[in-house]
Amino acid sequence: MTIVVAIDGPAGAGKSTVAKALARKLRVKYLDTGAMYRAVTFLALSDGVSLHDEAAVAELSVNCVLDVGEELVTINSIDATQAIRGPEVTKAVSLVATNSSVRNELRARQRIWVEENGGGVVEGRDIGSVVFPDATLKVYLTASPLVRAKRRVAQSGGDVAQIAAEIAERDRRDSTRSDSPLTKTDDSITVDTSDRSVDEVVAQLEQLVMIADAKRAANR
């Protein structure tokens, strides 16, 4: 049976690290949907398209050739792997993520990706709530604001207080936008990664996937 694991949660909760490691354990592929929103943002900024011009940004998202792999992210054959993690894209991306036409397009691509790859571990904000409501397992990964800010600083440098403020602002925008805001669904399992190692969290999720998959097989 196809396994789809949806991992949602705020920035800095450890989604990418956990999702990648879990995918490896389950021998399935991993998709970072945030990288898709980031890549479209990068393209709009590089092409000088105003992020407030919803129709123009939507058109870019529909017409682009986007490839989000574990190592490389390319858009229209441009390697955007580094640039999508830079401060310009990071500041601008939540505006692009409010664009419903962009969201529709990227969600369609996410569903195609899962179909083509025979399942996978998919991380984002609306994966369990909207993209894959029937996922094998839905996880809401979180951590305290201070831990999240410290992780970002360890990854990319900066000042903890400033990064904490930026994360709080992005959380606010992600959770208050009208189209598919970041929410925890009733059927998702909340995992707080603040005081736990990656291995511990991944082992717990692996076990939960096995249990969920066995239950589904029994109910068929």
Alpha-carbon torsion 114, 73, 75, 176, what sign? positive
Cβ of residue 83: shortest distance to ligand DC, in angstroms?
Answer: 13
Cβ of residue 48: shortest distance to ligand DC, in angstroms?
Answer: 21
Q: Would you give the DSSP letter of residue 24?
A: H
Angle of the 54-63 helix axis to the 33-46 helix axis, nearest 10: 120
**Under rule CB under 6 A, which residues in 76-135 are in contact with ligand DC?**
93-94, 97, 124-127
Q: Which stretch binds ligand DC (CB under 6 A): 19-27, 31-39, 47-55, 140-148?
A: 31-39
- Placement of tokens 């389950």 in the chain: 26
CB 193 within 8 A of CB 14: yes
- Which residues, including other chains, have CB under 8 Å from residue 15's CB and lie 6 or more apart? 7, 8, 9, 123, 141
Cβ of residue 94: shortest distance to ligand DC, in angstroms?
Answer: 4
**Under rule CB under 6 A, which residues in 6-25 are in contact with ligand DC?**
11
**Under rule CB under 6 A, which residues in 54-83 are in contact with ligand DC?**
none
Nearer to ligand DC by Cβ, of 3 and 19: the residue is: 19
Alpha-carbon torsion 187, 3, 191, 218, what sign? positive
Q: Encoding tokens for residue 180?
A: 């598919």
Cβ of residue 209: shortest distance to ligand DC, in angstroms?
Answer: 20
Q: Which stretch binds ligand DC (CB under 6 A): 34-42, 74-82, 133-141, 148-156?
A: 34-42
**Under rule CB under 6 A, which residues in 155-184 are in contact with ligand DC?**
170, 174
Nearer to ligand DC by Cβ, of 181 and 210: the residue is: 181
Which of 153, 189, 213, 209 shows the shortest CA–CA distance to 23? 209
Starting at the edge strand found earlier in the chain, the sheet holding 73-75 runs 66-68, 73-75, 78-79
Site size for ligand DC, by CB under 6 A? 14
Q: Which stretch binds ligand DC (CB under 6 A): 29-37, 44-52, 146-154, 201-209?
A: 29-37
Q: Is 140 in the site for ligand DC (CB under 6 A)?
A: no
Alpha helix locations (H) across the chain?
A: 15-26, 33-46, 54-63, 87-96, 100-117, 145-156, 160-176, 198-219
Task: Enumerate binding residues for ligand DC (CB under 6 A).
Answer: 11, 33-34, 37-38, 93-94, 97, 124-127, 170, 174
